[in-house]
Chain A
Amino acid sequence: MQKKARFESKILPYALIVPQLTIIFLFFLWPAFEAIYASFHLSDAFGLEVKFAGLENFTSLITDRGYLETFGRTAIFSTITATLSMTVGLILATVANRALAFKKITRTLLIWPYAIAPAMAGILWMFLFHPSYGVIGFFVNHVLQLGWNPVLNGKHAMALVIIASSWKNISYNFIFFLAGLQSIPKSVLEAASIDGASPAKRFFSIVLPLISPTFFFLIVMNLVYTFFESFGVIHMTTQGGPGSATTILVYKVYADGFIGQDLGSSSAQSVIMMLLTIVITFVQFRFVEKRVHYSGAGS
């Protein structure tokens, strides 16, 4: 029997999706159009002097060496953060999947970081790792004498924001990986181990392919997270510094638009980020999805 919903009234189905469509329009489509419009204009902060500027905002971005460096930084930041976050999430999910004492408590505790606002996470990590007044930072500098200084050393600052950002997203990956792992039929794993497959072989040949839909979904979500939601952490810890070392694309959009009041350039950067995200998502669906193994519904 088909599980299609049937409505008697012709208007009801449309009326039911109107709220969702309204929200999508108000919070996604309208701002996107405004950003595209603003990116083609030079405007002063108060919006009283708006001049058409053609592609000028875009060309001045492309010729700005600082902006091009930002791309490289974002690539490094996103790749490392996504990889770190997903790997740790997967390891924790694998461990939590086994029959453990305190299973429920462990799982609940592992989900907590996701509930924290990114800005809070940034503040927390700053209070841990600041070279002068951070608990761990002080310990590293005075006891271990290691010279940890994210305030002045760009690489240290990048490491700090990578750790803080990936920490926040581990819970998200953990939940999905756990669900994916739990949907793997025990019979398949048991058959493999009877056939003499080692745990490692079982993991890489059976478990990973079977959770590849989850994996694929999480790659997309993690990349989007590192592009956009990492802003909160960076703003609270390093403000894009020192010396632009942690200025990734989304932070530059904020700095130019809200501190510099340069709305044209900031909008152009937003548009470029939007196109970039669309291309990456498209590439992923086109090429990576081909390798995803979707099993039949609920066996």
Chain B
Amino acid sequence: MIAKSFSKLSLFTAVLALGLGAACSKKAPSDADGKVTIEWWHSMAGHNNKVVDELVAKFNASQDKYKVVATFRGGYDEALNSLVAAFRGGKQPHIAQVYEGGTLQMMQSGATLPVYKLLEDNGYKVDWADYLDPIRSYYWDNNRNLTSMPFNSSTPLMYINLKRLKAAGFTKVPETWEDLIKFLDKDVSLGNKCGLIVSWHTWVLFENFNAIHDRPFATKANGFKGLDAELVYNNPEQIALIKKLAERVKTGAFTYDGRGSDAARNGFISEKCSVMMESTSALKGVIEQAKFEWQPAMLPHEANAKVVKNAIIGGATLWVLKGKPEAEYQAVAAFIDYLAKPEQQVWWHKNTGYMPLSKTAYNQLKAEGYYKENPGHEVAVLQLLRGGAPSDNSMGVRLGMFPQVRDTLMDELEKIFGGKATVEEGLKAAVDRGNQVLRRFEKTVTK
């Protein structure tokens, strides 16, 4: 009796297993219509997500040999995690979008193919020198060749509520920190609860603050020249700036409302906060949603600054992963070449607010008169080109486990803004903890 039901059970289980197995079998990369299909994992959400889909559709329609399939993989952190896990399981995509903080890690990983070489080997000629210097420099190797394809690059801007500015008696948008702070103090004395709110504090208040004033964030040219770089951002000017901001948390002239960018965007758009420092990629959203007079401007610099350099970029870049069949890399090269063309850059810039990557694309936009109608869109580019060629301190930041280094700084900043640590103590602790992280990374990748 039991034997009978047992054999029935095992038959059932076998059928179930077969069925599950069949359902799990993957489709071959080459599509039914014979096109070579490649996968692109990205983190563009909301409005930009639709723009990515359109971009991919345009490429697919422009030729009939290759097909790109774009998949949204969550925010930058999650996407990098799924990329790592996929790579370990042999299921990585052809192209992955990784944020700028992951650059050194991707370069050292041995899991990627340098983009300049991929295009060269497949016979595509791209004038990389045409690319705007700070964008190129962030992702180039020691020979100034691009390891990844810069895709969505941004710089931080200062968005100002003009109504509040006028009410405080100012006629010009402040260009220096001193003037900005005067405005913020006046603003809260008039009864407003929130003067300045910042997104991506480490990027805006530390990396860019030091780069713009040609001071190092880390030794060895911010890490470009060696894995043994050490953090040195806690210089006197940095301490002075953070002190000024921390003192104003009580009055609200500077408000801290959490990490990331949600708090700042909500605060500014809802008119709770008069000034926000946020990425230029927020431009389109603010244009659509802000119901008051406002203006984007460059980040302020110190009044007594002898040198004012370019801002450094944020955003993300596209990496090509190893380990796929040879034939498919032709498709990858074709797609990267397509993205590198000025037409696509202009199109992407107009639809998202991320910057045009090359001088050609920028000049084209100027010639069209695009910036006459949309002056706000040019601010980020001008901020990027200011100050001539980037110095060692303004090429970008190239540190290992950079997200963790940034995290420890945010940790200590929260202690500072919460009154639990002095600025000197907090920044010293951040530098020490960050250096520990850097040394771990150095050990991990050195043979």
Contact = CB atoms under 8 A, between A and B. Distances in A.
B287 interface: no
Given A9-B3, A46-B109, A243-B412, A260 B445 contact: no
Nearest to A239: B259
Contacts of B407: 255, 259-260
Contacts of A243: 411-415, 418, 420
Question: Could you tell me the dominant secondary structure of chain B's interface residues?
Answer: helix
B100 to A, nearest CB: 15
Contact of B414 (A15, A48, A242): A242
Contact of B418 (A47, A132, A152, A260): A152
B18 to A, nearest CB: 17
B246 to A, nearest CB: 11
B291 interface: no
Interface string A33-46: 00000000011111
B88 A46 contact: yes
Interface string A244-269: 10000000000110111110110000
B445 A49 contact: yes
Contacts of B401: 260-262
A259 B84 CA distance: 12
Contacts of A64: 436
Contacts, number: 104
A75 interface: no
Contact of A7 (B2, B403, B436, B440): B2
Contact of B420 (A7, A9, A133, A154): A154
A152 B256 contact: yes
B6 A15 contact: yes
Given A46-B84, A60-B440, A152-B256, A262 B415 contact: no
Contacts of B376: none
B443 interface: yes
B258 A259 contact: no
Contacts of A242: 414-415, 418
Contacts of B417: 152
A157 B223 CA distance: 35
A260 B407 CA distance: 9
A250 B263 CA distance: 26
**Contact-residue size bin, chain A (C-beta under 8 Å from the other chain):** 35 or more
Most buried by B among A9, A45, A241, A259: A45
Given A12-B2, A43-B444, A242-B418, A132 B263 contact: yes
Interface in A127-153: 131-133, 151-153
A51 interface: yes
Given A152-B256, A243-B414, A47 B440 contact: no
B237 interface: no
A244 to B, nearest CB: 5
Most buried by A among B3, B401, B436: B401
A66 interface: yes
B410 A241 contact: yes
A256 B404 contact: yes
Contacts of B84: 45-47, 261
Given A132-B263, A260-B407, A46 B110 contact: yes
B444 A49 contact: yes
Interface string B418-435: 101000000000000100
Nearest to A255: B407
Given A9-B2, A51-B444, A260 B414 contact: no
Interface of A: 7-9, 12, 15, 42-49, 51, 60, 64, 66, 131-133, 151-154, 239, 241-244, 255-256, 258-262, 264-265
Q: Which 7 A/B pairs are nearest by Cβ-Cβ distance? A: A260-B404, A242-B414, A243-B415, A243-B414, A46-B111, A152-B418, A46-B109
Given A66-B433, A243-B414, 8 more contacts: A45-B105, A49-B445, A241-B259, A259-B77, A260-B404, A260-B407, A261-B80, A261-B105
